[in-house]
A and B are shown apart, each in its own frame.
Chain A
Amino acid sequence: TQLLEQSPQFLSIQEGENLTVYCNSSSVFSSLQWYRQEPGEGPVLLVTVVTGGEVKKLKRLTFQFGDARKDSSLHITAAQPGDTGLYLCAGPLLGGAQKLVFGQGTRLTINP
Chain B
Amino acid sequence: SAVISQKPSRDICQRGTSLTIQCQVDSQVTMMFWYRQQPGQSLTLIATANQGSEATYESGFVIDKFPISRPNLTFSTLTVSNMSPEDSSIYLCSGEKRGSFYNEQFFGPGTRLTVL
Contacts and interface: CB of A to CB of B under 8 A. Distances in A.
Interface string B55-73: 0000000000000000000
Interface in A67-112: 86, 88, 90-92, 98-100, 102-105, 107
Contacts of B107: 35, 42-44
**Lowest 5 A-B CB distances belong to which pairs?**
A42-B107, A31-B102, A105-B42, A92-B103, A102-B43
B42 A99 contact: no
B31 A98 contact: yes
A41 to B, nearest CB: 5
- The range of chain A's interface size is 20 to 34
Interface in A11-54: 30-31, 33, 35, 40-45, 48, 50
Interface in B27-68: 31, 33, 40-45, 48
Contacts of B42: 88, 102-105
B104 A42 contact: no
Interface in B64-116: 92, 94, 96, 102-110
12 contacts: A33-B104, A40-B110, A42-B4, A42-B92, A42-B94, A42-B107, A45-B1, A45-B104, A50-B102, A90-B43, A103-B42, A105-B42
A7 to B, nearest CB: 13
Contacts of B109: 40-42
Given A41-B110, A42-B92, A42-B110, A100 B41 contact: no
A105 B41 contact: yes
Nearest to B31: A98
A99 B1 CA distance: 19
A103 B44 CA distance: 10
